[in-house]
Amino acid sequence: MAETTPIAPHLPVVLVLAGHDPTGGAGLIADAEAVAACGGWALTIPTALTVQNCRDVQAVVPGDPDTMRAAAAALDGFEVAAIKVGLVADLPSLDAVTDIIRRFPGVPLVVDPVLRAGGGRELSTAELVDAFRERLLPLVDILTPNRDELSRLSRSPGEDTERAVELMTLGCQAVLVTGTDSPAAGTPGDRVAHTLHTPDQSRQWSWPRLAGRYHGSGCTLAAALAARLAAGESLMSACEQAQAFTWQALAHAWQPSPEGQSLPRRLWRLPVTSVKVPDPSGQGS
């Protein structure tokens, strides 16, 4: 019997513009894993290189804008179905990011506004936030800030809803506000609430709160959301699926050291290789 050639699956392509995190907890590695786990294929362009561990960021080196533009231009053989943007470290790289996005009109754009590291280091400036509002927000289909990032991006003194509405008046089409790090008043201590705001409606999801601190949850959520949009899901369904995926990645997280943050395992369904721990006595069994 003649062998048949397997039919190659169609993989929804997500273009990822984000910083490189050597730990793999966040940034390009996290995004690529999340996109792959959600059935897509990630194209990655570094917007910055970072020096960091599971506790905090020590240094950020912005990417070269011309190299970023050239890297995007070289990917003309791929049909990009969604774009995900993470860390943007300075004004020249912001300009490069917006130039690249404009190469793909009509492609859904998910932006995770990385303004501060989980360990507390500032990753943005007031000038960069102003430029972000002016140049990038009008291009965004869905923004995924946590409540602190929402507050920094908005000029409204009101509550989350008023702040989200303000960002939508700047051109952003939808805002998914995550409440993990800074819960809204009235949220039970054992729950996490995430709220989607669109011009037509709002929808809130509540998830069981997991113990511990995590590095890369926002990257995971935004990348998974981009992958689901690339696959043709509706915005509401993509948001729900991305949250469910992220919760599982956090529930199966790995903590490399007791003092550091835990790293989401986007590929938690893959088998774990058993590692034999040496006998400290040297006597063996």
In-domain check, residue 262? no
> Would you state the pLDDT for residue 165?
95
> Would you state the pLDDT for residue 3?
62
In-domain check, residue 153? yes
> Would you state the pLDDT for residue 243?
97
Query: What global pTM score does this model have?
Result: 0.91
Residues of the domain holding 20 = 13-250
- Judge contact between 254 and 265, C-beta under 8 A: yes
Amino acid (1-letter code) at residue 13:
V
Distance, CA of 46 to chain centre: 14
- Judge contact between 140 and 111, C-beta under 8 A: yes
In-domain check, residue 175? yes
Per the structure, the count of domains in the chain is 1
In-domain check, residue 147? yes
In-domain check, residue 66? yes
- Point out the residues of the chain with pLDDT beneath 50: 285
How far apart CA 84 and CA 225 sit, in angstroms, is 9
Q: In what order do the strands lie in the sheet with 109-111?
A: 57-62, 41-52, 13-20, 80-85, 109-111, 142-143, 175-178, 191-197, 202-208
Residue 123 sits in a domain whose CATH number is 3.40.1190.20
The predicted-structure confidence for 51-95, as pLDDT tens digits, reads as follows 998 888 889 999 999 999 999 999 999 999 999 999 999 999 999
